[in-house]
Amino acid sequence: MVDMDLEKYFDTVNQSKLIEVLSRTIKDGRVISLVHKYLRAGVVIRKRFEETEVGVPQGGPLSPILSNIMLNELDKELERRGHRFVRYADDMMIFCKSRRSAKRTLNNILPFIEKKLFLKVNREKTVVDYVGKVKFLGFRFTK
């Protein structure tokens, strides 16, 4: 099993890629423009305004939806490759029959995540292990 961690997901989402993904299904340019403005609106940190050129505002009303839209691209790719997996927001487990298969799966999916979706996998927190030894959202899988 692969327990994958996306590094600082909400802070590093590539806005151009997200807009591209949205544009494939939303044909109304006004909606795309509105989402783009939302992403670029900036944030106030310690009473100082900062522009947002990357990422999705955490805690914002659209953040969970935009996150799932972006990571749905990964879901579709994993399904296309015949993998079984579970994902909640940016937490994900990919189930494999052996450790060797899990390592191969991880190595094969990394280029898609990093080069196609422009996301970064945290290699220190991503592990290949027996499913019973890993927690997912605070739960363990047991027989």
Instruction: Tell me which residue of 43, 47, 46, 45 sits closest to 56, measured CA to CA.
Output: 43
Residue 143 confidence (pLDDT) above 70: no
The 3-state secondary structure of 63-116 reads HHHHHHHHHHHHHHHHHHCCCEEEEECCEEEEECCCHHHHHHHHHHHHHHHHHH
Residue 11 confidence (pLDDT) above 90: no
Taking the model in full, what pTM does it have?
A: 0.84
Per-chain mean pLDDT for the chain: 90
- Confidence category of residue 75, pLDDT binned at 50, 70, 90: very high
Percent pLDDT > 90 in the chain is: 61
* Distances, alpha carbon 47 to alpha carbons 11, 43, 109, in Å: 19, 10, 40
**Bridge partners of residue 93, in order along the sequence:** 3, 86
Q: What is the pLDDT of residue 135?
A: 80
* Distances, alpha carbon 37 to alpha carbons 33, 49, 52, 112, in Å: 6, 16, 10, 27
Distance from C-alpha of 33 to C-alpha of 100, rounded to nearest angstrom: 45
